[in-house]
Amino acid sequence: MKRQRLRRGFTLIEVLVALVIVAVGMSALMGALSSSAKTVVYMQDKTFAEWVALNQIATVRLKLIQSQLPPTGNTNGDIEFANQTWHWRQEVVDSQVPGIRRIDVKVRPKGVGGNNDDDNANWYVTVSGLAGNSLGTPGQFNVLWDAAPGNGLTPPPPSNPPPLGK
């Protein structure tokens, strides 16, 4: 005569295996959520850094109202924005077009990447803009955008355009 065993629940081994599966799944989920939160914070900081750079370019352009073309060279500084201190580096260079200068602004949180402004690492954003008063008198210069460096400006070819209305 065989005795029949009544099964009323899970064995201890089955419960332990289920707990291990749940623990592995939860740790993977927590890792994904943590990574997502870090990405959101980084993207928020990157957005703030871009706003700081755009504000710096706008500040340089506002000085043009007073007829001050920005001086060429490098400047840097710190600014408080969104409850955080940001370090910016600005480079102003002449363009091929007379009266126009290019402004490159790099921004990162203060304390990130050390105090060396010459390195190109750890900058969150680089924003470029143009500032100037005018492109010049029409017909005065032709800009060869695909020319070799240093040969960007050439005088216009001699021509006598037909009078208007004919």
Cβ count within 10 A of residue 42: 11
Tokens describing residue 113:
């990447």
In a domain, 164, yes or no: no
| Residue 97: per-residue pLDDT | 81
Instruction: Report the CATH number at residue 44.
Output: 3.30.1300.30
Tokens describing residue 135:
């492109």
Range of the domain at 75: 14-154
In a domain, 31, yes or no: yes
| Residue 109: per-residue pLDDT | 94
In a domain, 18, yes or no: yes
Q: Using alpha carbons only, give the angle 160, 162, 164 rounded to the nearest 5 degrees.
A: 135
Say which amino acid occupies 93: V
Distance between CA atoms of 77 and 36, rounded to whole angstroms? Answer: 32
* CA dist list (Å): 139 to 52, 106, 145: 38, 36, 16
**Range 119-124, long-range pairs (CB < 8 A, 24+ positions):** 123/89, 124/45, 124/46, 124/49, 124/50
**Phi, psi dihedral angles at 120 (to 5 degrees):** -100, 10
Distance between CA atoms of 52 and 89, rounded to whole angstroms? Answer: 11
Say which amino acid occupies 158: P
Q: Please state the pTM of the whole predicted model.
A: 0.66
Q: pLDDT of the chain along its 166 residues, tens only?
A: 566 666 678 899 999 999 999 999 999 999 999 999 999 999 999 999 999 999 999 999 888 877 678 889 999 999 999 999 999 999 999 988 878 899 999 999 998 876 566 667 789 999 999 998 765 555 555 656 555 555 445 555 555 655 655 5
* Domains in the chain, number: 1
